Amino acid sequence: MTEQRVSYTLDSTLETVDSAEQAASRIASEAGFDDDEVMRIAMAVREAAVNAVLHGNAYDPGKKVSLAFEQTGGNLVITIRDQGKGLDLEKIPDPLAPENLLKTSGRGIFLIRSFMDEVHISPSQTGTEIKLVKHVHGPSEGVKEASQ
Amino acid sequence: MKTSTRQVDGVTIVDCSGRITLGEGSVILKDVVRELLSKGQKKILLNLGDVNYIDSSGIGELVSSYTTTNHNGGQLKLLNQTKKIHDLLTITKLLTVFESFDNEDAAVASFK
């Protein structure tokens, strides 16, 4: 995998969600992931972008979403940052809990964690940064983590 | 996302195609199901065979359509899940919620 970095600054719109997904699909494909992995990576990025646009920036036209793709050390590292109030990790429900199965929302972070090898979420008062890592040859034993 | 509806033995089959995602896709699904319920068509079979993508919002709309139909005394079932949708419903444990079929005749007969 050739080391390179691509970054975007995007508006807080639904079009950003589609753009982020398309960029992820293209870059993951160019990085050599197979079709199934490309779909999973693109979906994880889409879900993170949805969180940034809707829950982070709340469609505020004055706030931006930054998106960066970095290919380094055999990993594809994707960073999505919003300018919202900061995600409250304590309030993320377990979508697999019986009482939440029929909820109509709350599955985005779960899907992200399901599809990526590492997920690091860093909320702050000036926004939330979510870093997604996919290993080119899949996770090594004990490496996969899903931090909250 | 596009939808078309047809009637088979009292069951309304909604043939869906395209993407069920945040925005247009999930809104279309919501509108179609609510319109059917408002017309008293409460046996609804969603044919997902030509749905090539669904995100968490789309999954949420499937759940919403299911619960809304139930609350209106109806039944909503799934037909022809693609592998991608099947995988998503599996990891979200929603396969335990939805009654799903690969065969249209069997699906229609299950409403009787």
- In the structure, what pLDDT confidence band is assigned to residue A144 with cuts at 50, 70 and 90? very low
User: Is the distance from CB of A88 to CB of A148 less than 8 angstroms?
Assistant: no
What digits encode the pLDDT tens for the residues A117-143? Answer: 999 999 999 999 999 999 987 554 433
* Total domains, chain B: 1
Residue A94 structure tokens: 């377990």
Closest chain A residue to the Cα of B64, Cα to Cα: A104
β-sheet with A127-135: strand ranges across: A4-11, A64-72, A75-81, A127-135, A118-124, A145-146
User: Is the distance from CB of B16 to CB of B51 less than 8 angstroms?
Assistant: yes
CB contact under 8 A, A95 and B22: no
CB contact under 8 A, B67 and A17: no
Residue A67 C-alpha from the chain's centroid: 9
Distance, CA of B75 to CA of A27 (rounded, Å): 42
CB contact under 8 A, B61 and A104: yes
Burial class (CB in 10 A: 0-12, 13-18, 19+), A108: buried
Q: Which residues does chain A have within 8 Å of residue B93's beta carbon, measured at their own beta carbons?
A: 96, 101
What is the structure's pLDDT at A2?
63
A51 to chain B, closest Cα gap in Å: 11
Distance, CA of B66 to CA of B6 (rounded, Å): 19
**From B22, B60, B96, residue closest to A17, measured CB to CB:** B22
CB contact under 8 A, A96 and B93: yes
Provide the ipTM: 0.89
Write down the pTM of the prediction.
0.89
What digits encode the pLDDT tens for the residues A40-91? Answer: 999 999 999 999 999 999 999 999 999 999 998 889 999 999 999 998 888 8
Closest chain A residue to the Cα of B92, Cα to Cα: A96
Average pLDDT over residues B82-91: 94
Nearest alpha carbon to residue B14 among B102, B80, B97: B80
Q: With an 8 Å Cβ cutoff, is B48 touching chain A?
A: no
Average pLDDT over residues B50-73: 95
What digits encode the pLDDT tens for the residues A18-48? Answer: 999 999 999 999 999 999 999 999 999 999 9
Lowest mean pLDDT among A115-119, A141-145, B42-46: A141-145
Interface test with A, best of B19, B22, B33 (most A CBs within 10 A): B22
Task: Give me the domain span that covers residue B24.
Answer: 2-109
Which are the contacts of A13, defined by CB distance < 8 A and separation ≥ 6? A53, A59
CATH class of A4-146: alpha beta
Residue A146 pLDDT greater than 90, yes or no = no
Give the domain CATH number at B43: 3.30.750.24
**From B56, B64, B93, residue closest to A108, measured CB to CB:** B56
Domain ranges of chain A: 4-146
- In the structure, what pLDDT confidence band is assigned to residue B28 with cuts at 50, 70 and 90? very high
Angle between helices B56-71 and A35-50 (to 10 degrees): 70
